[in-house]
């Protein structure tokens, strides 16, 4: 996964967290593709999960501080992702770290994130830019 200007939400702090998120996802995908041990994949996954939660929290702080009108829908999208991600983590911790789970990560994590950044976060970014 690569960060490009197309993914910019226009707010520096959010962009730099998205870059960090992509770097962590790449570390996870590398660990899976190289068939590293389940423990290492699980650890990378939980590291990524913690980062996702704190990043979503930052975005949500912005939303409430600036009375963002789409806050409910945006928060619901975050919540659904976190619950999906936890399911995936559980599966991996139970021994399902194989090429199929790598594909699931690609689909549930990478594709979701690109789509979320391009639509939902960009909309938030434009709103914040108009207020900041
Ligand atoms: Fe978001």
1 located within any domain: no
Q: Is 70 exceeded by the pLDDT of residue 3?
A: yes
Distance 88 CA to ligand 1 centre (A): 19
Distance from C-alpha of 124 to C-alpha of 128, rounded to nearest angstrom: 6
The rounded percent of the chain whose pLDDT value lies above 70 is 97
Distance from residue 72's CA to the centre of ligand 1 (Å): 11
Whether 3 maps to a domain, the answer reads no
Distance 34 CA to ligand 1 centre (A): 30
Domain count across the chain = 1
User: How remote is the CA of residue 124 from the centroid of ligand 1, in Å?
Assistant: 8
CA distances from 17 to 28, 38, 57 (A): 17, 26, 12
Q: Distance from the CA of 49 to the center of ligand 1, in angstroms?
A: 14
CA of 31 to the centre of ligand 1 (A): 25
Q: How far is the CA of 10 from the centre of ligand 1 (A)?
A: 13
* 42 domain residue, yes or no: yes
What's the pLDDT tens digit per position in 43-80? 888 889 999 999 999 999 999 999 999 999 999 999 99
The pLDDT of residue 97 is above 70: no
Query: For residue 116, how far is its CA from the centre of ligand 1 (angstroms)?
Result: 6
Residue 35 CA, distance from chain mean position: 22
Mean pLDDT within 8-24: 95
d(CA 58, CA 120) in angstroms, rounded, equals: 15
CATH code at 46?
A: 1.20.120.50
Write down the pLDDT at residue 98: 67
Q: Look at residue 42 in the predicted model and tell me its pLDDT.
A: 83
What's the rounded mean pLDDT across residues 3-17?
A: 95
Instruction: Specify if 56 maps to a domain.
Output: yes
Average pLDDT over residues 104-128: 93
Q: Decide if pLDDT at 20 tops 80.
A: yes
Would 51 be classed as within a structural domain? yes
Give the DSSP H or E segment for 67.
none
Q: How far is the CA of 79 from the centre of ligand 1 (A)?
A: 10
Q: Is residue 45 part of a domain?
A: yes
Centre of ligand 1 from the C-alpha of residue 1, in Å: 17
Give the residue from 89, 87, 92, 81 showing the smallest Cα distance to 120. 81
pLDDT of res. 32: 81
Q: 50 lies in which domain range? A: 11-131
Residue 77 lies in a domain: yes
Residue 102 has pLDDT above 80, yes or no: no
Within-domain flag for 78? yes
Indicate yes or no: pTM above 0.85: yes
Distance CA 8, CA 91 (A): 32
């Amino acid at each position: 996964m690569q960060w490009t200007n197309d993914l910019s939400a226009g707010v520096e702090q959010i962009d730099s967290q998205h870059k960090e998120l992509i770097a962590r996802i790449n570390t996870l995908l590398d660990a899976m593709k190289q068939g590293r041990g389940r423990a290492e994949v699980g650890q990378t996954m939980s590291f990524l999960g913690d980062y996702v939660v704190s990043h979503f929290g930052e975005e949500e702080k912005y939303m409430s501080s600036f009375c963002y009108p789409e806050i409910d829908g945006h928060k619901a999208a975050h919540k659904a992702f976190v619950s999906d991600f936890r399911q995936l983590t559980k599966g991996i911790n139970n021994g399902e770290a194989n090429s199929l789970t790598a594909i699931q990560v690609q689909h549930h994590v990478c594709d979701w994130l690109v789509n979320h950044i391009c639509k939902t976060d960009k909309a938030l970014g434009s709103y914040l830019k108009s207020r900041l």
